[in-house]
Chain A
Amino acid sequence: GQQLNQSPQSMFIQEGEDVSMNCTSSSIFNTWLWYKQEPGEGPVLLIALYKAGELTSNGRLTAQFGITRKDSFLNISASIPSDVGIYFCAGLTDSWGKLQFGAGTQVVVTP
């Protein structure tokens, strides 16, 4: 079956630094979604990407849908303490809305 490889698994960064993470797949996706999850809560949708090559921003977050449709990346610029959490990529596998999730990238921001 399809597998999403998300890296890095974790990142320890200083406040103000930029963060970059990515997801790759052996299969093509039609949609990439990026979520953030804080402890004990459900994931929150950050950015949705619908077209190959698409670059979308949401505040300090920027995500891109890879040209091959097999990868996506998420950048966080000028990190702040509230950026702490686990970031997940997800690819849409079919028209029923079934998502395949990456294993997550845990971001820790130190002052």
Chain B
Amino acid sequence: SQTIHQWPATLVQPVGSPLSLECTVEGTSNPNLYWYRQAAGRGLQLLFYSVGIGQISSEVPQNLSASRPQDRQFILSSKKLLLSDSGFYLCALGLGSSYNEQFFGPGTRLTVL
């Protein structure tokens, strides 16, 4: 079965600093991968999705970017963090027909001060 790893688990960063969050998956090949953000424990918002290496689609305009340098690696980045970037970031893996089963990683709690 598939496994999703996210690193780090928690992060506290000052405003204006860069960001790099990593998601890696095991147990599957050529998956669709997704980054979601969750604010205040409710409401997941899709930020990016990727259907393959180097292929990134952005869902909302924002201060963040994503990259997929390897099939099973998905990275969320920012050059300069804003206070509003605080939240719980979740990586997800899509499987099945039309990727209609999605499984989430353990998440990264980001606090921007």
Q: Which of A's residues lie within 8 Å of B, judged by CB?
A: 30-31, 33, 35, 39-45, 48, 50, 86, 88, 90, 92, 94-99, 101, 103-104
Q: How far is the CA of A37 from the CA of B65 in the complex (A)?
A: 26
Q: How far is the CA of A34 from the CA of B42 in the complex (A)?
A: 14
Q: Which of B's residues lie within 8 Å of A, judged by CB?
A: 4, 32, 34, 41-46, 49, 51, 57, 59, 90, 94, 98-107, 109
Question: Is B59 in contact with A98, judged by CB distance below 8 angstroms?
Answer: yes
Chain B at the A interface: SS class: strand
Contacts of A35 in B (CB 8 A): 104
Residue of B nearest to A101 (CB): B44
Residue of B nearest to A88 (CB): B44
Of B59, B98, B105, the most chain A CB neighbours within 10 A belong to B98
Q: B98's contact among A44, A45, A97, A101, by CB below 8 Å, is which?
A: A97
Question: Is A98 in contact with B104, judged by CB distance below 8 angstroms?
Answer: no
What are 19 contact pairs spanning A and B, CB under 8 A? A30-B100, A33-B101, A33-B102, A40-B107, A48-B100, A50-B100, A86-B41, A90-B44, A92-B98, A94-B98, A96-B32, A97-B98, A97-B100, A98-B46, A99-B34, A99-B46, A99-B102, A103-B42, A104-B41
Chain A at the B interface: SS class: loop
